[in-house]
């Protein structure tokens, strides 16, 4: 990975952490994520209504998560070998190759094995596309604005996955049905690829002389040699476990207290509006007081408390959208405080940022597996309430595990 460019860090947009030269890429990520994850907030309830058990649903999503984790790791490794643009085009093809059999064959036939395979192929598209662009950001942005730049990435990512996707699909489902709502994602994905790969003219670094086997071996050895990298992967994995488990648990848990799926989708979308501002706030704070300290003090602490609040708000207040909104808002704020990890982890290994970014992406991808897998393991013996306690304890642990992630002596953001 070569050093970051300086020429693009000019003007008011760069000072805000959003360099003009990369702006179409951010828009493309938002559109692609919206289309590629349009079903994530209601897929579990749809499958449950078709007769699938909670364990079958969470198992399918766990397999999906494992594939996401593998591809997320590869996006950091493969960036310097295959090229970021090529990886993002491959991601676009994977989306359509998985979506067509999933929507037109597996779902209409309720073919569970085909659903697992086709949904996994569809699912690897969004991390390969998005995390490749995250590598692009780390290549091209100076350290002084990197915390804010990655916060804009997570804003684009989050707005697509947790705001526009749920709201748009909530509006579409009652009008055109599930299959047509899924098909509408095709348009978003195509537009996202067009913005990020055609309208975006910036050129990322491409180390064409390196072999893929050499790059992959290097990525594995980093995890073997560097204890901080292993710890960073664990913390980044915990980062999003709530997001990927709540979308399974809440559609099952909340109807007990009188909430409809439409209410859940609306509240989930609203609290993630708060996450937009939290992402930028903590990106700015990380650039000021240090990336590590921001994560230590605010991230896991707030998310852990929020997990317990989400559990007991319906118990204490019944069918109260306000109470549920406040509990989930606390989670959205805590989630934003994890944002500086995307600047911290690559900077832990300045001499090999490509491998460090692969570790960051591996953790991001493993969240997709860990969230559903925790549900698979815990929901039967512990129930929803016990599962939320497990998630809360993991979040508290994440804050403590971040303490040792100190930058090298030449680092600037402790």
pLDDT score for 85: 92
Rounded to an integer, what distance in angstroms lies between the CA atom of residue 184 and that of residue 329? 29
Q: Is 139:205 a contact under the CB 8 Å cutoff?
A: yes
Question: Can you read off the two tokens belonging to residue 137?
Answer: 């950001």
More confident residue, 59 or 214: 59
Strands (E), 189-251: none
Share of the chain above pLDDT 70, in %: 94
pLDDT score for 10: 61
Task: Write out pLDDT tens, residues 117-156.
Answer: 999 999 889 999 998 998 898 888 777 778 888 889 988 9
**Cα 146 vs. chain centroid, distance in angstroms?**
18
6: pLDDT strictly greater than 70: no
411: pLDDT strictly greater than 50: no
Task: Write out pLDDT tens, residues 398-407.
Answer: 999 999 999 8
- Distances 106 to 65, 118, 122, 388 between C-alpha atoms, Å: 19, 8, 12, 31
Q: Is 32:160 a contact under the CB 8 Å cutoff?
A: yes
217: pLDDT strictly greater than 60: yes
Q: Convert 370-393 into a string of H (helix), E (strand) and C (coil).
A: HHHHHHHHHHHHHHHHHHHHHHHH
**Cα 246 vs. chain centroid, distance in angstroms?**
14
From 4-8, 248-252, 264-268, 292-296, the region with the lowest mean pLDDT? 4-8
Q: Look-up: residue for tokens 């760069």?
A: 14
Q: How many residues does the chain have?
A: 414
Q: Is 79 exposed, middle or buried (0-12, 13-18, 19+ CB in 10 A)?
A: buried
- Distances 119 to 57, 107, 150, 187, 258 between C-alpha atoms, Å: 12, 10, 28, 18, 31
Task: Write out pLDDT tens, residues 18-45.
Answer: 878 888 999 999 999 999 999 987 887 7
pLDDT score for 308: 97
Q: pLDDT tier at 309 (50, 70, 90 boundaries)?
A: very high
Share of the chain above pLDDT 90, in %: 48
272: pLDDT strictly greater than 90: no
More confident residue, 319 or 353: 319
More confident residue, 79 or 288: 288
Task: Write out pLDDT tens, residues 148-207.
Answer: 888 899 889 988 987 888 889 888 988 998 999 999 999 999 999 999 999 998 887 666
DSSP designation for 207: -
Rounded to an integer, what distance in angstroms lies between the CA atom of residue 107 and that of residue 116? 11
Q: Is 310:388 a contact under the CB 8 Å cutoff?
A: yes
Q: Is 75:127 a contact under the CB 8 Å cutoff?
A: yes
pLDDT score for 288: 87
Question: Can you read off the two tokens belonging to residue 276?
Answer: 């937009």
Q: pLDDT tier at 382 (50, 70, 90 boundaries)?
A: very high
pLDDT score for 207: 61
pLDDT score for 1: 40
Rounded to an integer, what distance in angstroms lies between the CA atom of residue 309 and that of residue 287? 30
pLDDT score for 144: 77
Reading phi first (left if > 0) and then psi (alpha if -120 to 50, else beta), residue 258 is in left
DSSP designation for 295: I
Task: Write out pLDDT tens, residues 71-109.
Answer: 888 887 777 778 889 999 999 999 999 999 999 999 999
More confident residue, 27 or 8: 27
pLDDT score for 208: 59
């Amino acid at each position: 990975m070569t050093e970051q460019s300086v020429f693009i860090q000019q003007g008011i947009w760069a000072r805000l952490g959003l360099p003009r030269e990369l702006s179409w890429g951010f828009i493309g990520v938002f559109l692609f994520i919206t289309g590629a994850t349009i079903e994530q907030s209601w897929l579990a309830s749809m499958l449950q209504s078709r007769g699938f058990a909670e364990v079958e649903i969470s198992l399918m999503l766990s397999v999906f998560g494992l594939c996401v984790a593998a591809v997320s790791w590869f996006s950091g490794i493969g960036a310097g070998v295959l090229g970021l643009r090529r990886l993002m085009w491959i991601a676009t093809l994977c989306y359509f190759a998985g979506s067509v059999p999933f929507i037109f064959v597996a779902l209409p036939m309720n073919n569970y094995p085909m659903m697992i395979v086709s949904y996994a192929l569809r699912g690897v598209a969004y991390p390969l596309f998005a995390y490749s662009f995250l590598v692009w950001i780390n290549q091209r942005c100076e350290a002084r604005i990197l915390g804010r730049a990655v916060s804009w990435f997570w804003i684009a990512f989050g707005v697509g996955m947790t705001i526009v996707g749920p709201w748009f699909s909530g509006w579409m489902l009652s009008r055109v049905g599930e299959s047509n709502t899924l098909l509408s994602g095709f348009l978003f994905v195509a537009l996202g690829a067009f913005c990020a790969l055609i309208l975006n003219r910036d050129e990322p670094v491409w180390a064409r002389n390196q072999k893929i086997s050499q790059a992959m071996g290097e990525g594995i050895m980093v995890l073997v040699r560097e204890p901080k990298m292993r710890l960073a992967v664990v913390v980044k994995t915990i980062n999003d476990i709530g997001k990927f488990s709540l979308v399974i648990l809440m559609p099952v848990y909340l109807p007990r207290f009188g909430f409809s799926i439409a209410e859940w989708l609306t509240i989930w979308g609203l609290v993630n509006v708060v996450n937009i501002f939290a992402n930028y706030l903590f990106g700015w704070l990380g650039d000021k007081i240090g990336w590590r300290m921001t994560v230590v003090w605010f991230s896991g602490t707030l998310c852990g408390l929020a997990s317990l609040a989400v559990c007991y708000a319906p118990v204490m207040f019944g069918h109260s959208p306000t109470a549920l909104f406040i509990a989930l808002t606390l989670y959205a704020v805590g989630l934003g405080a994890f944002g500086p990890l995307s600047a911290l982890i690559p900077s832990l290994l300045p001499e090999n940022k490509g491998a460090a970014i692969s570790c960051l992406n591996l953790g991001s991808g493993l969240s997709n597996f860990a969230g559903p897998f925790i549900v698979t393991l815990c929901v039967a013996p512990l129930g929803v309430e016990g599962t939320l306690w497990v998630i809360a304890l993991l979040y508290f642990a994440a804050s403590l595990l971040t303490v040792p992630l100190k930058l090298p002596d030449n680092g600037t953001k402790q």
